[in-house]
Amino acid sequence: MNIGVVLKRELSGYFATPVAYVFIFIFLVLAGVFTFYVGNFYERQQADLVPFFSFHPWLYLFLIPAISMRLWSEERKSGTLELLMTLPLSRWDIVLGKFLAAWLFAGIALVLTFPIWLTVNFLGHPDNGVILASYIGSWLMAGGFLAIGSCMSALTRSQVVAFVLCGFVTLMFVMAGFPLVLDIVRGWLPLSLVDVIASLSFLTHFNAISRGVLSLQDFLYFISMILAWLFATSIVLDLKKGG
């Protein structure tokens, strides 16, 4: 119940300003551009959304930090964080409520790309099971990005710094599974360590799901990442309060 109160407060806050609508508009435009133009959707002559989902990790590197940077930095800068912490809510209620609001907002933006799904069904006969799995994987990945962004936002009162920190850390987790990076480290690290690096990557697990395989391992990876970074957020808030 307490989490729901925080969630409702935060979600309504997104749509109280034009920022939410601008974010959704930019996300939809970029998704369309990357899918139909950069991804050569028509030239490929294949009824699938591979070009659409293949760009999601890179879109999220810029757009998700824009959502998460305000989670705690704005509260700290405006001086409302202290007031929020005095409410009869547990620290975890607040952390989880704010995160879920941001994750739901990202989910709304993702759902609004459904015309692209309709388009590919109009033009051909895609494997809609694979597309649905890819949507789920994309949303889980967005949650992982947001959890990292939540922690970065809790570290500073500057939204710009929070944006840069989130972008940098999430880039590291994406690049860890990039074939070029893995090929480089494979030359001087044991194979077991290479596998560990790949297993920590958002890209590795998202690519597995986008192939239509919703394995428990990939699901647990994203949930574990989300919980770990939210727990780190709670610790940072405690330390900041103590300081």
Q: What is the pLDDT of residues 120-141, one digit of tens each?
A: 888 888 889 999 999 999 999 9
Of the chain, the end-to-end C-alpha distance in Å amounts to: 30
pLDDT over 70 (residue 74): yes
Give 49: exposed, middle or buried? Use CB within 10 Å, 0-12, 13-18, 19+. buried
**Closest by alpha carbon to 206, among 233, 230, 185, 225?**
225
**Which among 35, 57, 60, 63 has a CA at the least distance from the CA of 203?**
57
User: Cβ contacts of residue 23 below 8 Å, gap of 6+?
Assistant: 63, 66, 67, 109
Residue 163 pLDDT level (bands cut at 50, 70, 90): very high
pLDDT tens-digit map of 32-54: 888 888 767 777 777 788 888 98
Q: How far is CA 117 from the centre of its chain?
A: 20
Cβ neighbours around 45 below 10 Å, total: 9
Share of the chain above pLDDT 70, in %: 97
> What are the Cα distances from residue 186, in Å, to 91, 171, 179, 196, 211?
42, 20, 10, 11, 24
Given this model, what pLDDT does residue 1 score? Answer: 63
pTM of the model: 0.89
Q: Report the alpha-carbon distance of residue 141 to residue 180 in Å, rounded.
A: 21
What share of the chain in percent tops pLDDT 90? Answer: 35
The neighbour count for residue 17, using CB atoms within 10 Å, is 9
Nearest 5°: the CA angle 155, 145, 141 is 165
Measured in residues, the chain has a length of 243
